[in-house]
A and B are shown apart, each in its own frame.
Chain A
């Protein structure tokens, strides 16, 4: 608790606005690639955040994203799944000595390959649920799977590039 919590909170709010006002407007390959970078706020929650708080925060984030994007429920469903999986994936990928010394899951602290695995799994799961919650059908299967995978890759790329841009200075000091 304390300054870390406040930072996390403002990060989530900022990303919601970034998503609604800028990223959702990107038309990559006619909407085939649709990045949802607002989940970065959930992925960046400190390791010691209680599981129930992760869930509640994800749910609330999804609710506000739904307000911005249209039919209610899509982002709520996807984010609840994300918030449930996030602590599980963190435990699954935990290093032998645990996360004691490290507070936040960033590339600088955990390394690129760890981060890609962690964020990759969660982003794919979130996009998968989100996309099927939106369409509620599975017919052009390969097209839809391609849409999910490429959107997830777009999200992942934006999150990785964003981290290199934002956190670079902190590491040097």
Chain B
């Protein structure tokens, strides 16, 4: 026993190093698996405040650009007002109105920190649980997709943007409606992403629009994701290799809208019920 203590004393620094190193590795691997939720939420509020302070300074310098962006968005929204449309067929439209119910709601938030040039990028928003934001809500800006909320603290939330390999969402081609998956090669150019799993028999040409499907219930259907910019089809594969230019400019993100789905729980629980029922039948 005495010898062991002597040994520990002599190699105290090395033992300390090993201890800290193993501890760091444990933190590294656990945070990679769980979207860094547990370690960051304890202190993300004050780090968020520091970033918020820096962002206020930066936003002041970019006021003109943001004004332009807001004016553009105002114009877009104003053009969507019902007054701007007339009904072609009154009976049809009046019936639709009476059975229509709101499904998605939007909350605006400000980006207080963002990375675009890392292997896995994250955004921080200045609204959290108290602002009505919950994990798995979609995040959009000017009608184009940004990402999905991954964790929230009281006043801040962390978003997995398209520019993160963990981001998964189904997408569809505007014309044909065929759907595939969007994937961002880690560390690549933040203006582009890949679309996978669209079979070869579907005709795709450069300039085609890529939209959300609305299946995942993070986003409503038909939001912009981007435009096809390159086709690198390989003869031996059955699927297209599509490169798209993203509609969102992640380098200039400033204000975003967080989308909540009122019927999400209902949709999810129905699916789970069905799956459980099928599971029971399989056992029999």
Contact = CB atoms under 8 A, between A and B. Distances in A.
A80 B21 contact: yes
Interface of B is mostly: helix
Nearest to A70: B122
A81 interface: yes
Contacts of B187: 31, 135
B120 A77 contact: no
Interface size class of A (residues with CB under 8 A): 20 to 34
Interface stretch (A37-45, A51-59, A109-117, A164-172): A51-59
Interface in B90-121: 115-120
Contacts of B265: none
Given A55-B17, A84-B17, A62 B54 contact: no
Interface size class of B (residues with CB under 8 A): 20 to 34
* Chain B CB within 10 A, most for which of A21, A51, A72: A72
B114 to A, nearest CB: 10
Contact of A30 (B36, B43, B189): B189
A73 B20 CA distance: 11
A71 B21 contact: no
23 contacts: A21-B50, A30-B189, A31-B117, A34-B117, A51-B13, A52-B13, A52-B16, A55-B13, A55-B16, A59-B24, A67-B40, A68-B47, A71-B28, A71-B31, A71-B120, A72-B40, A73-B26, A73-B27, A76-B23, A80-B21, A81-B21, A134-B119, A135-B119
Interface of B: 12-13, 16-17, 20-21, 23-32, 36, 39-40, 43-44, 47, 50, 54, 115-120, 122, 186-187, 189
Interface of A: 17, 20-21, 27, 30-31, 34, 51-52, 55-56, 59, 62, 67-74, 76-77, 80-81, 83-84, 87, 133-136
